């Protein structure tokens, strides 16, 4: 195993275990969060985002990150992502966690994620829309 795989695996396994134990791999838990019936997972997301902002803020200058840009597909893509998340009950990372938990139907979700990322890239090449 290369060092890159080890650097990914070392934090990835505990993260996947923690996210799975929190309930993000459970469709009903996630559905309750999206309907604001249970804010426990929503607070976990808010805490993770807040911690990430604080943790990575010092690296912004060193990494010379460009500010995010909006283009014509940003809002529709975000809406489609949200609908897909609500319908399947998972985001891309959680689909991998579900596979690790033995929830084999997550392979169908993962196939949909790859298809959903592949189709717009093919359309943009064919139509040559301005980005």
pLDDT at 119: 82
pLDDT at 13: 86
Q: Are 93 and 75 in contact (CB under 8 A)?
A: no
Q: Taking the model in full, what pTM does it have? A: 0.67
Q: d(Cα 30, Cα 14) in Å, to the nearest integer?
A: 20
The closest alpha carbon to 90, from 116, 115, 109, belongs to 109
Residue 23 belongs to domain spanning: 3-127
Q: d(Cα 86, Cα 66) in Å, to the nearest integer?
A: 30
How many structural domains comprise the chain?
1
Q: Are 21 and 72 in contact (CB under 8 A)?
A: no
Q: For residue 21, is pLDDT > 60? A: yes
Report how far apart, in Å, the C-alpha atoms of 47 and of each of 14, 40, 59, 64, 74 are: 17, 11, 19, 25, 25
pLDDT at 130: 57
Q: d(Cα 113, Cα 84) in Å, to the nearest integer?
A: 9
Q: d(Cα 69, Cα 112) in Å, to the nearest integer?
A: 26
Q: Are 131 and 124 in contact (CB under 8 A)?
A: yes
Interval 28-80: pLDDT, tens: 888 888 789 989 888 988 998 999 889 888 887 787 777 777 777 788 888 88
């Amino acid at each position: 195993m290369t060092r890159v795989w080890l650097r990914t695996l070392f934090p990835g396994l505990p993260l996947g275990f923690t996210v799975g134990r929190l309930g993000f791999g459970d469709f009903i838990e996630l559905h309750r969060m999206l309907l604001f019936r249970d804010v426990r997972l929503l607070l976990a997301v808010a805490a993770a985002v807040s911690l990430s902002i604080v943790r990575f803020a010092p690296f912004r200058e060193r990494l010379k990150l460009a500010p995010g840009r909006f283009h014509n597909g940003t809002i529709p893509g975000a809406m489609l992502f949200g609908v897909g998340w609500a319908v399947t009950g998972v985001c891309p990372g959680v689909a991998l966690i579900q596979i690790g938990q033995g929830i084999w139907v997550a392979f169908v979700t993962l196939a949909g994620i790859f298809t959903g990322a592949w189709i717009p890239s093919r359309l943009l090449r064919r139509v040559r829309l301005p980005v």
